[in-house]
Each structure stands twice: as C-alpha cells, then as structure tokens.
A and B are shown apart, each in its own frame.
Chain A
Amino acid sequence: MTLLRCRGLRKTFGGHVVLDGLDLTVDEHRVVALIGASGSGKSTLLRCVNLLEELDDGTIELDGEDISDPRVDPDRVRRRIGMVFQSYNLFPHLSVLDNISLAPVRVHRRPRAEAQAQARELLDRVGLGTKADAYPDQLSGGQQQRVAIVRALANSPRLMLLDEITSALDPELVGEVLALVRELKDDGMTMVLATHEMGFAREVADQVCFLDGGRVVESGPPERVFGDPTEPRTRQFLRRIIAAGRL
C-alpha cells in the first residue's frame, strides 16, 4: 500500500530552485534512502513532507490524504510523522524523559505517568534506560541522537523522516545510531532517510533514490543503483564518493 506520494514538488528559496518537479512514492513498511550531493534537495524534501516548509507547487499525499492542501491542520499531520534532525534538536532544558514524553502528554493528552512509563520502556529498548533523568548536554552525540529517535517514536508515527542523522556524529558513534535504525526497519517502520552513509543506504534501504538538481534522477533497489547505475550523473556522483573512500 502506498503511504506517501509526492507529485511534482517544487520549492524555491529566493530565486534558487531546490526542488524542481520532484516525484516520490513510498510504500508502507519500506525504507527509502535519498542520496545525492549537498544542496540536491534531500533535506528540503523531508522538511516539505513534514510541512515545515511551504511548497511552491505540487502535492503530497499521506495515506491518500492531500496534506499539501492549506486547509489541512499541519499539527494533525505532523502527529503521524516522526522526524529526526542532523543536529538532534533535543530540548536542552528538559530531561531525557521529559523530552520524550512532552508530545504524548501535550499533543496526545495521555496521562503523564503512562507517557513516562512508555518513554522508559522505549529507552530501555535502545539501551538508554539509565539516562532517563539526564539532560541532553550530559549525553554523547550518539546517545542524544538515539533519544531524538525515541522521542519521534513516542508519537507512534506512521512514517519516519531521518535527515542525515549521523552527519554530526563522531565516526565511532555512528554505529549505535544505525543499529537502532536497522531495528526500526525490522519492526516494519516506514522510513525515508537522507544520508551520506552509502554503505548503510545499500544495506538497509529497499529503494535508493539519487537526487540531483531537485529531482529524483535515478531510483531502484540498492544493488542496481549502486552496482549498475544507468544515469551518467549517478555514475559521476558514485565515482566521487568512491574516490573519497565513502563506499
């Protein structure tokens, strides 16, 4: 079943075209990896899907509902979508537990005790059970990013958007975050992830989309896109990635 369908997305920032008629379809329980150079529109696409940016043209459907319709309440849409950012964006004034239970308590009106119990359960699952009362600045980058993922999961989202979630991490901390994403995939979570980790994209994604100039230039199973790309621009990009030792 199709969960997310983007058609002809266009987004400009001050005369600079970032998305230029982009199409993307994501089926339920599938993991789609967006790859491409910086500025190719990966992050903008994710921010548009989460209605953090206003589209200049095109439509986005979530579960068959046109969420790019201005009459749609964006808060209601965002409750169904979890987003994780490159720089974690945890709330520095709240403990780990409060970071996670804030939305369940305030948005979903769940009793605080119940929300906190669920938060502790999720933290235990990702191996951070002892950090519930810590503050974000007392955690390593990898731990913060895992908390950010848990915070998004606490809303029980239908779709997870991961925006280069390992780019700000020290290399030795990347593994623990990717392991968590792998677990989410095994649980059947639908995910769209923008990433520079080609090895990870190859391993975890069901479908890889190469973005260039604000469009999906090439898309398909990872073996094909990485092993036998048909588009010259994809080949050029992959050659540079290999030259940089990232694949």
Chain B
Amino acid sequence: MILAPHEPSAAQRRREAYRRRQTVTSVLVAAASTAALGTLLVVAVTGAPGWDRVRRSFADPAIARDALPEVLAGLWLNVRLLFCCAAGALLLGLLVAILRTLRGPVFFPVRALAAGYTYTFRGLPLIIVLYVLTLGVPGLRLAGMPPVLVLGGLALVLTYGGYLAEVFRAGIESVHPSQLAAARSLGLSYRQTMRHVVLPQAVRRVAPPLLNDVVALQKDVGLVSLAGPIDAVRAAQIATAETFNYTPYIVAGALFVLLAIPLIAVTDWVTLRAARRQERG
C-alpha cells in the first residue's frame, strides 16, 4: 500500500518537536551519568593503596604476551571439546526427553530409565562424575579403553544431557494438545506427530534456554583439565606457577569472554526472534 502524502497538523508538529527535545535530553543525561560512574570507578581502583602491586601481578603486558601462545593452545582444546560435548549433550537430551514421553506399558522400563537418568545426573556434581569416569573407569583396565579426554567429554555430555533433556521436555509439553488432536485427526501416528508436528515447534520454543545451557557448558569444559588434559585455564595456571604472576589468568579470562560473545549474541538473537514470533502468532 502506498501512503498518501499527509501534512501533519500544528498539534502533531508541536508533539514531534517536544519528543525530539525529550530525546536529546535523554541522551545527554545518559552520557553524563555514564561518564560520572566511569570516572568514579577508575579513581577508586587506581587510587587504591595497593593498585601498583595489583597491576604488576595481574596486568603485566610482557607476561601476557609470553603466556598467550600456551593459553591459546589450551583454548583450542576448550573449543573442540565444547563443540563435541554440546552436540553430544543436545542429542542425548533430545533422546531422553523423547523417551520420557513414550506411552504404553511396553515402554515403562525405558521411561523409568530416562527419568532415573535425569534425576541422577542433575543431582550429581560434575566434578564427581568427572573423577569417576576419568580416574575410576580407566582403573578397570579394560581392553579398548578410550583416552581420558574422551571419558572427560563423556562426563560433560552425561551431566549436561540431564539438564538439556528437561529443557526439551518442557518444550514438548508446551505444545498445545489441540496440535496433537489436529495431527492425529489427519491420521498421523504418534511417532509421526512427534516428528513432524510436536518436536519442530518444541525445539523452536526452547532454543534460547538450550543455547543458554551451551554457554554454561563452555565454561565447564575446562574442568576436564582436572584429569590431565591441558585447557586454557590449566595452561594459565602453569604459566602462573613459572612466573609467580597472575596475568595469564586474566589472559585466559579475556579469551573466554571473547569466545562467549558470539554464542551469547546468537542466543539473544534467537530469543528475540522467538519473542517476535510469539507476538505475531
């Protein structure tokens, strides 16, 4: 539709002028308060009596430069683990969530097993799962034992799979029963209804909380270093022990934040899109 040219009335022009003035005022106030708070923070931190010592032991540029290659190499392990564990945990979570929705007496043991899994692994601290899998299981000395890295990844997948399963299940249950009725009335079987009608809607709806859990997983993948493999945090720790300076930790922390930013941005974007869809629908 093409809008016909419209000459705003005097009242509308006055309103618009007023709103423009309001906008300018708002921007000025925001800038002033940001500057005031920033100044206050800088003065408080740099004016502290121990600031020089802290700066030397936490923000030494030369030590940061030296530590960077090792920390980066460690971070590469984090990234690889994150991708594999996120994929594994998402798949496991989805599978468990589907198993929990199966009906009929035949599936009772499957349902019970799936429910038991989510209860156990949501309750169990990740560190304990890691120790049992990376230290306990190799102790069995079975043939064909996978390397510690794989076992550590498995601990992450098992723990996060429990959380993700519940998120998926919430999504499945949020699909209105009338959608099931419509699908079944068309002759679709229960499986076809899940596959083509329920799951696509459920996954879309819970994409933001799923991604949020993946952001949390990103920080926890580093815990496999407890079993030996050297990730970014462990590399920073080693560098720190060599120089008696904490700067490598700051380097690792900054890298983690940089790594998280794209993931968080994607999460926000997906959330925004889901909210818009909700509004339209």
User: What is the interface of chain A, defined by CB distance below 8 A to chain B?
Assistant: 47, 50, 52, 74-76, 78-79, 81-83, 85, 87, 89-93, 102-103, 106-108, 137, 151-152, 155
Contact = CB atoms under 8 A, between A and B. Distances in A.
B20 interface: no
Given A75-B188, A103-B187, A152-B186, A89 B181 contact: yes
Contacts of B189: 75
A107 B179 CA distance: 17
14 contacts: A47-B181, A52-B184, A52-B185, A79-B186, A79-B187, A83-B185, A85-B181, A87-B178, A89-B179, A90-B182, A92-B201, A106-B188, A137-B281, A151-B186
Interface in B37-77: none
B197 interface: yes
B200 interface: yes
B187 to A, nearest CB: 4
Contacts of A87: 178
B192 interface: yes
A58 B182 CA distance: 24
B178 to A, nearest CB: 5
Nearest to B195: A106
Contacts of B185: 50, 52, 78, 81-83, 152
Contacts of B103: none
Given A85-B181, A92-B201, A93-B204, A107 B192 contact: yes
Nearest to A47: B181
Interface string B126-154: 00000000000000000000000000000
A106 B194 CA distance: 13
Given A52-B185, A78-B186, A91-B183, 4 more contacts: A89-B179, A91-B182, A91-B201, A102-B186
B15 interface: no
Interface of B: 178-179, 181-189, 192, 196-197, 200-201, 204, 277, 280-281
Interface core residue of A74, A81, A102 (most chain B CB under 10 Å): A102
A184 to B, nearest CB: 17
Contacts of B178: 85, 87, 89
A90 to B, nearest CB: 8
A106 B196 contact: yes
Nearest to B190: A75
A135 to B, nearest CB: 9
A46 to B, nearest CB: 10
B177 to A, nearest CB: 10
Contacts of A93: 200-201, 204
A60 to B, nearest CB: 15
Contacts of B181: 47, 52, 85, 89
B269 to A, nearest CB: 18
B12 to A, nearest CB: 31
A75 B277 CA distance: 32
A86 to B, nearest CB: 9
B126 to A, nearest CB: 34
Contacts of B179: 89, 91
A4 to B, nearest CB: 15
A82 B187 CA distance: 9
Contacts of A102: 186, 188, 196
A160 B201 CA distance: 27
A106 B277 CA distance: 27
Contacts of B204: 93
Given A85-B178, A87-B178, A92-B281, A107 B200 contact: no
Contacts of A52: 181, 184-185
Given A87-B178, A91-B182, A107-B187, A137 B280 contact: yes
Contacts of A92: 201, 281
